[in-house]
Structure 1
Amino acid sequence: MLNTQRLIIRKFNIDDAEALFSILSDEEVNKYLPWFPFQSLEETKIHLQKFYLDTNDNHNFYRYAVCLKEDNVPIGYVHLENNNDNNDFGYGLKKEYWNMGIITEASRRVIEELKKDNIKYITATHDINNIASGEVMKKIGMHYQYSYEELCQPKNIKVIFRMYQLNLDDYNKRVYKGYWNKYTNHFVENIL
């Protein structure tokens, strides 16, 4: 379990199904994510078991519930998938908590743990229309590297993603090229 001034960042447990459903079923929260909003508590329980509970002891996954200290109920999530070479970092938050710095605060704390565990770098991508997600990436120290177009599944829509990276070992010349090499429509934007 990790703590910040306002937050408890912990592994999900079986009692978190309803709270997770309130996050994953919200259309606005999931608008830019590669899945449709969840339709039922039962669907959420299956996802909770498979994605969170079954991997709690797997050191290739850092999957945390983000909770306020006052009630320890999940209002969001932060995760890192380091089961391949992209070390994909992601997050989500209930919309009533947007613009309060909560995901930035949680992400910074998780990144401290990743450094302790000798994770060399993390990457994150966002739909170019999801400006707020890109702002979080910048606030946690990530740097824009390139953009690419992907046919995003299961929604079957073309999306331009921006790829950000943070080298935790300070080797700043490293750039993850996996998406660049995978997708033929890739380019570098002039982003401040």
Structure 2
Amino acid sequence: MTVITTQRLILRPFTAADLPEFAALQQDPDVNHFLPWFAPQTTANAMQLLRTQYLDSPAAYQLAVCLRTTNKAIGYINVAADDDHDLGYGMARAFWGQGYMTEAAQALLAHLPVTAYPFLTATHDVLNPKSGAVMQRLGMTYQYTYLEQWQPKNIPVYFRLYLLNRDGNNTRRFDKYWRMHPTHVVEKPPLRVDSEIGQLDD
């Protein structure tokens, strides 16, 4: 069982006792807007989502982000075990802007074995630049932006892809989404969110 502690946080596996905090986070429209699933409408729906994503998952790095003072979940963080090594995270709105997610992600990265995770990827909706700021603080570098018809919400979303090479292979590229999605661009710095994003240089 993976448990990681920092100055302010405990990263640990979710339990069924985390349901109230998990449900509140998932049902917040400001949080769910950037999540790849619809908000659970009932406590039973939230429990099913918690069970599917965390309680029944064998993955080692799907963790609740908890305050050390209370051991209550204020968010989640995970790294996919597939070839993408995708870093994902979310946090309750009351705890935004306090550096908690950067602290949690830095601790998780320090714990991940480089041999199993030689690189990490992460994506964020261009309308959620604060998520991208976390990626930048982790040392991840911007690669490209692509347009995806996001499911199951079936909405068009521009995602920015970031990459972190952890094994010294700084020539590595992760072009999977570039190849999958025909509408893609490399934005010129500074990265911006506006109506012209689809017209930036390819």
Fold agreement, TM-score > 0.5? yes
Tell me the distance in 2 between the aligned counterparts of 1:88 and 1:160: 17
Which of 101, 111, 114 is 1:113 aligned to? 111
Residue 188 (1) aligns with residue 186 (2):
yes
Provide the residue aligned with 2:67 in structure 1: 68
Provide the residue aligned with 1:91 in structure 2: 89
Q: Is the 8 A contact 2:59 2:81 kept in 1?
A: no
Q: Cα 1:155–1:119, aligned 2, differ >3 Å: closer, same or farther?
A: same
Bigger Cα displacement from structure 2, 100-109 vs 43-52: 43-52
Largest Rg, 1 or 2:
2
What pairs with 1:1-192 in structure 2 (closer than 5 Å)? 1-55=3-57, 57-59=58-60, 62-83=61-82, 85-115=83-113, 118-192=116-190
**Which 4+ runs in 1 deviate beyond 2 A?**
115-118
Tell me the distance in 2 between the aligned counterparts of 1:120 and 1:166: 9
TM-superposed CA distance for 1:80, in Å, is: 0.8
Query: What's the % identity of the aligned pairs?
Result: 40
Q: Is the 8 A contact 1:115 1:168 kept in 2?
A: no
Structure 1, unmatched stretches of 5+, are none
TM-score normalised by the chain length of structure 2:
0.89
Tell me the distance in 2 between the aligned counterparts of 1:187 and 1:101: 30
Q: Cα 1:96–1:147, aligned 2, differ >3 Å: closer, same or farther?
A: same
TM-superposed CA distance for 1:116, in Å, is: 5.3
Tell me the distance in 2 between the aligned counterparts of 1:58 and 1:19: 21
Across the aligned residues of Structure 1 and Structure 2, the Cα RMSD in angstroms comes to 1.2
Q: Cα 1:16–1:121, aligned 2, differ >3 Å: closer, same or farther?
A: same
CA offsets per residue over residues 84-122 of structure 1, 9 Å max, x none?
Answer: x21111100000100000000000001111135631111
Q: Is the 8 A contact 2:123 2:159 kept in 1?
A: yes
Tell me the distance in 2 between the aligned counterparts of 1:45 and 1:82: 23
Structure 2, unmatched stretches of 5+, are 191-202
Which residue identity does 2:106 align to in structure 1? R
Which residue identity does 2:180 align to in structure 1? K
Aligned residues: 188
TM-score normalised by the chain length of structure 1:
0.94
- Partner of 2:116: helix, strand, or coil? coil
Which residue identity does 2:55 align to in structure 1? L
CA offsets per residue over residues 53-89 of structure 1, 9 Å max, x none?
Answer: 111x435xx1010000011010000011122x21111
Q: Is the 8 A contact 1:21 1:41 kept in 2?
A: yes
